[in-house]
Chains A and B, each alone.
Chain A
Amino acid sequence: MELSVRFFALYRERAGCSVTGVSVEPGATVADLLNTVREQFPRLAPPDVQIVVAVNEEYAEPDTPLSAGDEICLIPPVSGG
């Protein structure tokens, strides 16, 4: 299953791109996706930092299942205000 993943702010800079294609098994979860993304972009975040993922404009859990066509964004620590 091919998914499109968007990066914002810090993660965009560290990834060197604002969007990337990621290939995962059908039925993959957010945790599976993150494993693959971290392999592709090892400098994205230190290993002890949990990367937050938004799926279809909602914060997702590690066990959230993904479907083709989902809008997936990696959300660095927010700092509005």
Chain B
Amino acid sequence: MFKITTEVITGAEVREAVEGPDAGAVVLFFGTVRNNTDGRVVRCLEYEAYPPMAEKKMAEIAQEISEKWGLDRVAMVHRVGKLEIGEVSVAVAVASPHRKDGFEACKYAMDRLKQIVPIWKREVWADGETEWVKPDAVFFDAPKPHKTAPQTD
């Protein structure tokens, strides 16, 4: 399951998508809307995506995880629209026979999502001003799959 949604994310959808009798672990990650960025008060976040390509890129990340860890049950859902503080913007679930691989693969999925999935967020500051995150990042090159350690922020 790889999905861009406007609906509230509960986590049940991704968990159910990966569950199975051979799983010894299901690692679940939620990204939530934080009330500040580097100390500046955030009122809310606004997300948008290019849904068909975003879902395709999520599926590619799952394929990378399958190649790296041999895990075939990964689910990712990302919400778009206006999200309030504390709401879930993204959920990732990975099922694995043992927890170590699941934790690693789940972290990898989020690192890659932040690199290659066409989703954008805009901070709405307390004074109502808005700002796209990383507006002119020079480091951003054509983000193709690669085997080196992913960047994190």
Q: Which residues of A contact B (CB under 8 A)?
A: 8-10, 13, 45-46, 48-50, 52, 54, 57-61, 73, 75-81
Q: How far is the CA of A75 from the CA of B140 in the complex (A)?
A: 10
Q: Decide yes or no whether B147 CB sits under 8 A from chain A.
A: no
CB closest chain-B residue, reference A62: B142
Summarize A's interface: helix, strand, loop or mixed. loop
Q: How far is the CA of A54 from the CA of B134 in the complex (A)?
A: 19
Question: 5 A-B contacts, Cβ less than 8 Å apart?
Answer: A49-B137, A78-B118, A79-B114, A80-B78, A81-B119
Known A-B contacts A54-B53, A61-B142, A79-B114; A49 and B47 likewise in contact (beta carbons under 8 Å): no
Q: How far is the CA of A54 from the CA of B31 in the complex (A)?
A: 26
Q: Are B118 and A79 in contact (CB under 8 A)?
A: no
CB distance from B122 to the nearest CB of A (A): 7
Q: Are B144 and A79 in contact (CB under 8 A)?
A: no
Per the 8 Å Cβ criterion, residues 125-153 of B in contact with A are 132-138, 140-144
Q: Are A10 and B135 in contact (CB under 8 A)?
A: yes
Of A54, A61, A80, which one neighbours B90 at CB under 8 angstroms?
Answer: A80
Contacts of A49 in B (CB 8 A): 136-138, 140
Q: Decide yes or no whether B113 CB sits under 8 A from chain A.
A: yes
Of B47, B53, B140, which one neighbours A77 at CB under 8 angstroms?
Answer: B140
CB distance from B147 to the nearest CB of A (A): 17
Contacts of B78 in A (CB 8 A): 80
Per the 8 Å Cβ criterion, residues 48-70 of B in contact with A are 48-50, 52-54, 56
Contacts of A80 in B (CB 8 A): 47, 49, 54, 78, 89-90, 113-114, 117, 119-121
Q: How far is the CA of A10 from the CA of B142 in the complex (A)?
A: 17
Q: How far is the CA of A13 from the CA of B140 in the complex (A)?
A: 19
Q: How far is the CA of A56 from the CA of B46 in the complex (A)?
A: 25
Contacts of B120 in A (CB 8 A): 8-10, 76, 78-80
CB distance from B37 to the nearest CB of A (A): 11
